[in-house]
Every structure is written in structure tokens, then in C-alpha cells.
Structure 1
Amino acid sequence: MLNSIKMMMKFIKFKIQLGLFTLLTICTLNAFSQKGVEIVSTSQVIPVLKGIETNQLLRLMVYVPAGAEIPVKKIKAKLNPDGMKAIEKIEVYFTGIEPLFSGKNKQIAVNPTTVNLGFDINLNLKPGMHYIWFTAKLKPDADIDSKIEFHVNQLEDARSKVYRVVEEGTGYVKRLGVAVKKAGDDGVNTYRIPGMATTDKGTLITVYDIRYKNSGDLPGNIDVGMSRSTDGGRNWQATKVIMDMGEPNENNGVGDPAVLFDPVTKKIWVAALWSKGNRSIAGSKPGLLEDVTGQLVLVSSDDDGLTWSAPKSITAGTKDPAWNLFFNGPGSGIAMADGKLVFAAQYWDEHAMPYSTLVYSNDHGKTWKTEDGPKPNTTESQIIETRPGVLMLNMRDNRGSFRSVATTNDMGKSWLEHPTSYRTLADPVCMASFIKASVNVKGKQKDVVFFGNDNAQTMRYNLTIKASLDLGESWDLKNQLLIDERKFYGYSSLTKIDDKTIGFFYEGVRDLYFVRVPVSEIIK
């Protein structure tokens, strides 16, 4: 009898559990099949830049289920006080079913005068996906050390029904910056290849390619341009052309610049590649003359970048005649503790195999020397002095996936590949920026190595600044900061502005951008 009762109780318990499971399944299926309106906002990590008309702030994705319809009449949003001060106008665009931004279908523009914003629009959203974008234009006097925080809270329809917004993404708080050069400025098609240095007066000197006709590399109609800022990058003077090799412009281009400041002589040096005819990477051949091989040329300024010398080739004194090509690595150079001036460089040997290396001067730019490089199939590099007399070369590696790194204590006569080489710093085969700077870290002065690049192995996006607190021996993942997650050309240049601030000058697509970045945001 007892066993029969136990068996009956087990059977009843099983039926109850089966009924509960069936009920739960039916409820879940009903919920799935009767999914309601869904509104999700996403905000990428993208700076908001002075000079750009439509900086993307936020995107709304609105899903309307079958059988429903939303006659949207108002969108409510919230802006922080600094954002209200900085923004000239916020515009709303409707891109329909297209998830990517387009500036063709503007709905409304609002000039913020309060932190609580309302956008009156007239959109009749039928079943399916719909996308609404919010963009901002900054005031000319916006403080680029401030930040914007923007959120969309709710939509209201013509029946006064309220729809709440769910947030995704991490970019709702945005740093500000400056579009130093934009495609189309002065009739120029493309600005590329950023380099940057800081003088003893605190002046920021940026150099770059002025690509007049198209975005292509040398050979072509390309000059080297320079812009100055005397207020830490908040404002920039007009472009000055500092390298123009003359007529015929189409076959006399000069580009890929790098810049350094000599603290002893107070002179600024800029190095670049001159291609007379087809004398860049593809067309340059062994020899020393400008009619057969690309030329490494220099200009200098003795007055903080106001005026510049004529270009002078140093190819005959530096290039091995057997090499196909020899020129600088773009970006920035350094002055060593003992006074030597150093640019990263690259050569393409007699077999057209590229090597990263260096070019240096013992006499403050009167003469220059070079040595063989540490590793084949490496090109654009940057260099720092970790300890007095010890140089670290950080190299673009054509193998892909990672940066290669090597050190020398005898100015390149011998090299040692570093333990972090081709395993630590992800890279999608692109130029990168690399500096050492004495900065304030948690109240104490410290030498820090900063590295900036597209933090990915296969594509150029996620432009990130990383910091090493042990002179490049290791890279703690917590000490890094994503600056711009968009896909773009991806070159960059770093400089120290002051003990608490790093300047970052980088490429968009045919544009050049600048942001000021607190050291405390990079080093956690």
C-alpha cells in the first residue's frame, strides 16, 4: 500500500511539473510572437569636433511590430550643462531602414538653451526597423577640454503614448576636439600623414601631406603643409606650405613628413620623401641622384615655425647606393639626452625588401648618418630613447597582426629584438605613434611611454592610446583609452602638451583631427 501511495504521489508531482513547463513554454512563445515596440539608442566612442557640421551623437533604432504604427510627434532628450554651453545646434536626421548615417533627410534643428530638450517631428513609423540620428555642431569658442553627455529618454506619439528608450554602447560621454584640416579646405582633395612636435615655447607644430588632386600616395601632386597652435591645440593657424619642390607639380611631389624639435639649438626639423617623377616606393632605383632614386629632404625653422628654410636633400650622405630607396618614417623624431637628433627611417634594399631603421645627426643637423635595420619586411616606424643611449624602434610589420620592436645601444650598429616584439601590440599593418614623456602620474613626475594606433589586427579602426609605466617593457591593459572607434586611414602622432595633457593628431578619412587627452584618463 505504502509503495502504491508513493508511486501515485510521484505521478501527481510529475504532472504538475509538466503542466508548469507547458504553461511557461506557451507564455514564452506568446511573448516572442507578440513582441512590442522596441527602441534602442547606441552611441559610439567618437569625439565631437569643431569645424565639423554633423558630428554624430547618437542613433535610435525603432522596431515597430506587425499590425502596429507609431505617429511620432516628439522626442525628449537630456544634455549636460557643458554640452549646452559647447553645442551650437543639434540636428535630427531620419534614415528610414538604412542603419548607416546620411545627412540627406534632416527633420529638425534645435539650438540648446536648456539641458532638457524636446524635438518636435512628424514621422509615421510603420512595421519594421527605422533609424533616427542626432548630430551636433560645436560653437567656435567651445572649450575642447569639456565633454558632452547626451541621452534620448523617450518618444511620444500623436496619441500622447510614451515609448521608453533602452541604451546600448559606451559613447554617451564624448570628448571634444578640432578638425585641423578637412577635405576640401583650400580646394585640397585630401590631407594625410600627420606628424606633431612641441617646441620650448609650448607651440604645437603639425605637419602633413597636402594631396591636391586625390588621396593617392606619391608620386603625385603633393606638398608638405604645416599648422601651428600657440594655445595647446585649442586653435590653429592657417596652413603654411613648407615643402614644395616646384614645377611640374604632378611629377615633383614631396610627402610622408616627420617633425622634431632640437632643445639645444631651438630649431625645428622636418624630414620628407621627394619623388621627382616616379621615384617613390614603386619607381625608385639604386643610386643617389634625384633622377633615379627618391630623395630624403629636410627643412628647418629657427623662429618657432614662422619661417622655413628651402628643402635640402641629404640622400648622398646617408643612403647606401645599392638600396632602392631610403627615407624617414612619418610622424615625429626625437632629441636624445646627449644632443643627437634622430628620425625613424626605412630603406628598401637591392632586392626591394623593406627594413625599418634610423637616421641621426651628431652635430644638430649639419650631417646625418644611418645604419642597417633590425628586421626585414618592416617599414614605417617611430623611435624613443628609453634610457640614455638606448633607443627603441617600434615598427610597422608587413606580416600583419602585431608591431615589431627592437632596441640598440650603439646607434643602430647592432640591434636586439625586444621581448614584446610581434606579440604584444596589435596592429593591422599601419603607421603608429610612439613617444616617451615625463608626465604627472598620480601626483608624481614619471617617464611614461605612450603608443597610439588602430587597436586591431586586421582592420584600421578603434584608434587607442596606450601607456607603459616601465619604458615599453610591458603594457598593462588597464592603461589604455579608446579615442575613436570609426574605420578610417588610421595614421596618428602624439606629443606632450604639459605634465597632465597629451596631444593626439590623427587621420579621419581625408581629414586630420586633434584632441587633448588628460594623462589621468589613459593611466588608470
Structure 2
Amino acid sequence: MAYESSVPYRAGTEGYTSFRIPAVVRARSGHLLAFAEGRVSSAADSGTIDLVLKRSADAGRTWGPLQVVARNGTGTAGNPAPVVLDSGRVLLLQVRNAADATEDRIRRGHVPPADGRRIWLQHSDDDGASWSPPREITGQAKLPHWRWYATGPGHALQLRHGPYAGRLLVPANHSTPPTDPQDSGTEPRYNGGHALLSDDDGATWRIGYTDSDSDSDTDTGRSVAPNETTAAELPDGSVYLNARNEAAAAWQRVDAVSTDGGEHLVRPFRPQAGLSGPAVQGSALHLGDRGALLFSGPAHPSARALMTLRTSRDGGLTWRTAHTVGGLPAAYSDLVRLDRDTVGLLYETGDFSAYSTITFRRIPVEEPT
């Protein structure tokens, strides 16, 4: 199947060595907002990293000039998690840290809190043309003992159905110190997932559900460490959550459901073998009127390659392949609804490296069977 595609970001251009971590939303006007991390000096996950944006007025066929939405001096501003409110305002949650605060050092407790992962928020009332000054919300969004922290990455939600309609839900993840006081901290696992919730359009925030590998039960064989979670609202108002699994297990993805707007999980995250692939971020999107739940991510069993769109018609219980986007290297992605017949996929890909471009593809939505 042929796809219309465009390349909003290409490594080694526009003053950046690398672009990573895509996130995309459709503004109320119809403009698409494609966010990414612009990595200045290298492709590494730490260092001088800006949050950048390109906008499209023609559903992703062409893109406007690069905008720098957020800078953190010589440090990192990253993990974009945008959401479009009913009012039209676009919120952008993000995480910041010092340039030398690598993920490994943060997880091991070797970084002071002031230089570690902190959560910030910006907004735009003109479809992303201009942005408010950043506002820090770390005190509301992060528990004091959490070390590593990331919002998304990928689009967040404003719930549309049921008793929690209007609530903002941002999937996020964190790490915790070793639970054994004799542990020196040399093993920096201890991954956990959680949700950030707001019932006042982002004025205030609180932490909803939490789930982590410290909750794993060796008696039952549960080995789950949720990380980099994506969320989709189902037609009945429940929220489907799907996460990368950092535990040493045969399955690489885990999922869960919340029926109270992200406050709690019906049950802890559990394996989802129907979405085979490598350890990587993915994106979920529910089509609403078509009744299908979509998931984007690499489908190669061990390599970041073979970007694939998969679909579920039973709320994420079972999955099948809807579209194989391509067999090239591919990694992170985000999905957006364009119109009744089309979705957009913003994803990392390239001929020989998954990180050569961030490409946008328009993908027809299949008819129900």
C-alpha cells in the first residue's frame, strides 16, 4: 500500500545533530503540531537538548519552519507530552535536568534533586504559534523519593466520556531507590509507571495510579516493570494503558485498564504477548466511531525495525496487524487522528538507522470487518 509521507525532522540539519522522541497532536483549527527533542551536540539522551516544534496546515503533507518551544540553558528539556483541551488551548508537559545528569546517574542516586528530573508545563492559545513561559509542577507531579522521571513521551489525553469527562491524564514513569537497605544502588532497575491527573485544565495536578516492579510477586511469577506508557480512552470512558516492560521477561509489553479516570488500575500491569516487538516506546489511539483501538510500534522481535500498525476490536485483549508501514529501522512513534478516514503516524526511521529522520505518514483507516 502506498502512503503519503513527509520528513519534518532530519538529523544533522537546522542546528541539531539529532532529532528524537516524537509527539503529535491536532489543534482545534486542524493544524498538526509535531514535537521532538532537538539534540544539539550528539544523539545521546542527555546534554544540551531543546524541545522543538514544526506545524502543518495541510494535514502533514508539508511543514512550517522549526520553532524552539523550550530551552533549559545548556541542559535538557525533553519528553514532550502534549494535549489539546476542549477550549483549544494546547498544553505541553515536559521534563528537564542538568546536561551531565544522565539517566544512569539519576537512577543510582548520584544527582542532586535540583539537577535531576523536574516537571514543567507550557501552554499555547494560538495553535502552537507562541508559547507561555514554562511553569514548574514538580512538587505536584513527583514523589520525593522518585529518581528517574519521564512524561509520556507522546500525546496525553483529555477524557471525553463518562463521569470523568474533562479530566487530563498524562502517562508517566519513574524509578525508585532499592528497597533493600543493604543494596548499594549498583542495580538501577526499579521502574514504575503512573498517571498525572488534572481536573481544572492543568491549573493543578496530582498523581493517580502507580504500578512498579517493586510490586512484583515472585510467588505468582509477576515480573513487570512498566516504563514509557501510552494511553487511549475507550468508548465507555475507561482508559487502556500500554507500556514498555523493563523487567527481565520474555514479553516486552504490558497493559492495564483504569475505570475511574486513571485514579487506580483494575489490576496491575500484566503481559501483552499480542504486541510482540523489542523494548521500545509505542503509541495507542482509539478511533471512536470506528470502534478500533490502534497501536504503533516496531514489530521485529528483537530489533528496533519493522514499524507496524496493529488493531484491536476488544479493548486491547487481542491484536492483529492492520498495516506494515515498512521494514526499515524504526523506533519511537506517536499516532494522531486526522479525519474520519485517516490517521497520522509520526515516527523515527531511516535507511540504516532508526534515528536518521522523524517521518510523518498518512495511513488510511480500514473499514470495519
Q: Does residue 346 of structure 1 match 2:196?
A: no
Distance (Å, rounded) in 1 between the aligned partners of 2:293 and 2:270: 14
**Conserved 8 A contact 2:240-2:315:** no
Q: Contact 1:333–1:344 (CA<8 Å) still a contact in 2?
A: yes
Aligned residue in 1 for 2:234: 386
Give the letter for the 1:227 counterpart: K
Encode CA deviations 1:368-407: one digit per residue, 9 max, x unaligned: 1113523422211101122444222100002353310011
User: Do structure 1's residue 198 and structure 2's residue 31 form an aligned pair?
Assistant: no
Q: Which amino acid aligns with 1:233?
A: G
Q: Deviations over 1:311-351 (max 9, x none)?
A: 22211112110111333120110110210111110011122
Match of 2:10 among 182, 185, 188: 182
Q: What one-letter code is carried by the residue in structure 2 that aligns with 1:229?
A: S
TM superposition shift of 1:472: 2.0
Counterpart position of 1:355? 192
Q: Hey, what's the Cα distance between the residues in 2 that align with 1:450 and 1:198?
A: 17
Verify: 1:502 aligned to 2:343, yes or no: yes
Q: Deviations over 1:232-252 (max 9, x none)?
A: 111111110001122xx1xx1
- In structure 2, stretches of 5+ residues that fail to align are 179-187, 214-224, 350-354
* RMSD after superposition: 2.3
Shift of 1:289: 8.0
1:334 and 2:157 correspond: yes
Quick one: structure 1 residues 254 and 486, their matched pair in 2 at CA, closer, same or farther if it must change by over 3 Å? Answer: same
User: How far did 1:287 drift?
Assistant: 12
**2:296–2:309 CA contact under 8 A, matched in 1:** yes
Query: Post-superposition shift, 1:437?
Result: 2.1
SS at match of 1:410: coil
Q: Alignment partner of 1:208: what SS?
A: strand
Amino acid in structure 2 at the alignment position of 1:458: S
CA offsets, 1:21-79, max 9 Å, x none?
xxxxxxxxxxxxxxxxxxxxxxxxxxxxxxxxxxxxxxxxxxxxxxxxxxxxxxxxxxx
Higher strand share: 1
TM-score where L is the length of structure 1: 0.61
Equivalent positions of 1:430-441 (< 5 A) are 430-438=280-288
Question: Offset of 1:281 from its aligned partner?
Answer: 2.6
Which structure has more relative contact order (CA 8 Å, sep 6+)? It is 2
- CA 1:260–1:412 in structure 2 vs 1: closer, same or farther (change >3 Å)? closer
Of the candidates 233, 253, 259, which is equivalent to residue 409 of structure 1?
Answer: 259
Contact 1:287 1:293 in 2 (8 A): no
- Superposition deviation, residue 422 in structure 1: 2.9
* Structure 2 counterpart of 1:221: 48
Determine the C-alpha separation between the residues in 2 that align with 1:400 and 1:482: 23
Equivalent pair of 2:140/2:207 in contact (CA under 8 Å): no
Alpha-carbon distance change, 209 to 419 in structure 1, aligned in 2, over 3 angstroms: closer
Q: Normalising by the residue count of structure 2, what TM-score does the alignment of the two structures yield?
A: 0.85
Specify whether residues 187 and 419 from structure 1 end up closer, same or farther in structure 2 by C-alpha distance, changes over 3 A only: closer
Task: Answer yes or no: is 1:471 the counterpart of 2:315.
Answer: yes
Higher Cα radius of gyration: 1
Amino acid paired to 1:454? P
Does residue 482 of structure 1 match 2:324?
A: yes
Distance in 1 (CA, whole Å) between partners of 2:360 and 2:278 is: 22
Report if aligned partners of 2:226, 2:269 keep a CA contact under 8 Å in 1. no
The aligned runs of 1:130-169 (5 Å cut-off) are: none
SS at match of 2:301: coil
Question: How many residues end up aligned between the 2 structures?
Answer: 336
Superposed, 1:50-449 pairs within 5 Å as 174-218=2-46, 220-246=47-73, 249=74, 252-263=75-86, 265-284=87-106, 291-337=114-160, 338-351=165-178, 352=188, 353-376=190-213, 377-398=225-246, 399=249, 401-417=251-267, 421-438=271-288, 445-449=289-293
Deviation at 1:436, TM superposition (A): 1.2
How far is 1:290 from its partner? 5.2
Please give the alpha-carbon distance, in whole angstroms, between the structure 2 residues aligned to 1:365 and 1:415: 22
Whole-angstrom distance in 1 between the partners of 2:137 and 2:117: 11
- Structure 1: segments with no counterpart, 5+ residues: 1-172, 439-444
Per-residue CA deviations over 1:1-34 (Å, capped at 9, x if unaligned) read xxxxxxxxxxxxxxxxxxxxxxxxxxxxxxxxxx
Letter in 1 for 2:145: A
Secondary structure of 2:3's counterpart equals: strand
